Structure 1
């Protein structure tokens, strides 16, 4: 038996094993699919959480008689608050946005904003804690649009940046009425970047032909495997510049007093520098801001939870496995522009 026959038998055996594993996984997924998945809005009352902190710590420093008096006082306060209508009080709604390159959290953000808008009024306030280094243009553009829904309802919007809100993260943040920033948080990076690996010379060196057919002069300006022409490269750079102009115009509309020639260079700044340039309004952590608000107002933290069924998770794993074995990931990379 020659080497080619050995290779053929091995490949066939490997394929059969892989097919059997996938078949078993699919059967399990079909059975688990009956469990379905659950999507829901979760609510946490932070003002009560802070009050419990205070009560717990205070109780540890009191004598037995003082603790008895404290319990009595707390009961009276609870009874009084239960009889008091809170319908007319200002409420603070809190959202956490933890962004990645794909702006995956925007799917939760749109549900959270929708939930809040069902009851929030202009006398209330929405606080969004943003943490993001930026990412794809369309993802962070949608995230900014979701926050604009709050502004359009005339509801005050405050953005808190404790660590980083750069590029696409800052695009979101500038929609706010005010931006609070920790002293060493990173903000800014008003710029656009795109990276395109090109393997054309490698293919040419090994006498491999690559042909790509398009309709439309600029359907493909630069390519992963094709030759990058001066004309195509020029058009690609023009598209990047157009995106940068859109970014700058959006920031200027939200914060008209900014000197865009100074801050729209792609650079980032720390909080203390950012406030001097007008990128943020106040140096303050979200913890300090929320703690102060909790003294007088309800703070309602809203979080949308998406619970995938077991079958969905398995399907995702299988899909990713097949995707990694193809060029689809590289094809996506070559067409993306990042804020």
Structure 2
């Protein structure tokens, strides 16, 4: 009994923390306080390689490597001096990560990261790489996230999107904006469609003689309801709204990827990477690791991550919300009826 009471109190506390955290986060989404973390990826890649070199290289190889690095450091100082005098330096690649959930809540960090990099990125020279993973979600959330990536294109900065696992529905709405869209061979892409479902328990309530009064002002203020009796007119209007949203979705994809046959791919289906290339949904098959390490040989890479300041209640709420999102993602993956390895 003591354990059961304790669990009950803990669950109630988490639910209250979730509601408080969500309320605090959604009050002024564009004005949260926080800070921007920046990591030099070139240094990380070199440190990772050095950890292995110390085990497999002999002293002579290490000596030659240190000598080569000293020469490179000297050349880099000269390049920095010329850059200070007005000569263009090495290109910079700003790396962002978008891990999508149902509400596209990562857009709150994305907007800060994009604003920061656009303040320093040079059109025609620098590049933004977005590591995108999302099965999609709410229309308005992913619409705003897509608008943030549109800001990069409109500023004249090259945008590359890498998809290693999934960019479906709202995730593909974001991905299609890229100058170049790369995907791993078995990444899931597409799902250019709109879905909505509304449970209705009117017959159950009627069976138990429970009346529900729904008052509206405006013919289509409410089309389908959970408790009341749905009408054919309401169903038709609901379907019209879905079709209109789908048309906007297809038009957006056609705008940014005119090479696709939108009537062929705008059916709500999803495809794996290889097939997505054939349908022009993707430009090439390549993992993000391969692309970034190749770019590191000729450019300076910087990973950006905006971190909001959060109270303890918000952190607990986000932990609970994250667990719910992971359950939803697993359900979505199962709903694809995709084969398992």
TM-score with structure 2 setting the length: 0.79
Match of 2:143 in 1: 141
Q: 1:74 to 1:100 in 2, by over 3 A?
A: same
> What are the superposed Cα offsets for residues 187-224 of structure 1, whole Å, 9 maximum, x if unpaired?
00000000101111111010001001111000000011
Q: 1:206 to 1:194 in 2, by over 3 A?
A: same
Alignment of 1:216 onto 2:218: yes
Which has the larger Rg?
1
Match of 1:51 in 2: 46
Shift of 1:42: 0.5
Match of 1:7 in 2: none
> What are the superposed Cα offsets for residues 36-75 of structure 1, whole Å, 9 maximum, x if unpaired?
x961100111112112233333343232344344334434
Secondary structure, aligned partner of 2:56? coil
Using the alignment, how far apart are the partners of 1:225 and 1:176 within structure 2? 43
Q: Pick one of 267, 282, 285 that aligns with 2:284.
A: 282
8 Å Cα contact 2:136-2:142 kept in structure 1? yes
Secondary structure, aligned partner of 1:135? coil
Shift of 1:261: 1.3
Q: Pick one of 26, 34, 37 that aligns with 1:39.
A: 34
Match of 1:294 in 2: 296
Shift of 1:156: 0.7
Using the alignment, how far apart are the partners of 1:194 and 1:118 within structure 2? 39
Q: Pick one of 214, 233, 236 that aligns with 2:235.
A: 233
Matches within 5 A, 1:310-325: 310=312, 312-313=314-315, 316=317
Gaps of 5+ in 2: 21-31, 322-341
Using the alignment, how far apart are the partners of 1:276 and 1:313 within structure 2? 43
Match of 1:184 in 2: 186
Match of 1:325 in 2: none
- CA RMSD between the two structures: 2.6
Alignment of 1:62 onto 2:57: yes
Shift of 1:309: 1.9
Match of 1:103 in 2: 104
Gaps of 5+ in 1: 1-13, 30-36, 321-339
Structure 1's consecutive aligned runs of 4 or more residues displaced over 4 angstroms after TM superposition are 311-314
